[in-house]
Structure 1
Amino acid sequence: MKWGANGPLRSRLHMQSGYQLGTYLFLGLIIFDLLLGDVPRISFAMYALFFYFWQRERVEKEDKALAEKMKQRSNEWTITLVILLCFVGYAVSLGLQEPSISLLELSIYGFSTIFCIRALTLIYAMHQEHLD
């Protein structure tokens, strides 16, 4: 048996534990930011990215056909929820006189929210497939 024979398995295990560690680390930073009274912009964005990649890695461990089915269902739910959030944001913005948040912060929160929604819909799709 050669030393490098299980290299891909080892790197896959390290990546999954890295995604989990990153998710928990940035969740802790979000809580720390909130306790200090700051608004967690970058911590939330990094948490969303790590959370999404962790859930995507979990889905890709399934059978290829099943994983594609779960990703497709997640795509449909994500698009539906994003469109619903856009309508809610539009309705809320009608009552605003002046924007109190910069465009950069709004885009960071928007993309972070999309990644979190995507990760949550992947979790829900995995749950639904395992129930069926």
Structure 2
Amino acid sequence: MTLQDLYEDHRTLAAIGERLIAIISCEPPQMQALVAVRHEMAQAVARHLGNEARLALTPLGASSDPYDRALARRYTGDLLSMRQSSSAHFGKWTPESILADPREYRLAVRAQLRMVAARRAWEESEFLPAAERLASGQRTPMRKVG
């Protein structure tokens, strides 16, 4: 697993999200398929976060560069917020509540996926490039974390 593989993980997670949208677009939602894709997504996210922590977060957090450490702090803080949102989402949207209000569930899933897409965009524009720079031994002038 390399830093470049993390970008491919992002594409894989986006594809799983697209499959999730397709499944929940059916009336009524196909619960067996939905449960399976939710499980697949959870496993893929867990693997990805473990690899991301090892390849990017840990080196950035241990860097002597304040910019790198700030990126690591933002990553961790944002991840905590996303986990809280995801936990609330899964707690609210049980199979029973999904079947009771599939339209609202579709809206909630799309909101979660937009949050993940924004996170992916930030990681690919700032976080992962900084980890790549650090891994290659390059130093750049300190910048403000965005």
Fold equivalence (TM over 0.5): no
Q: TM-score, normalised by structure 1?
A: 0.38
Q: TM-score, normalised by structure 2?
A: 0.36
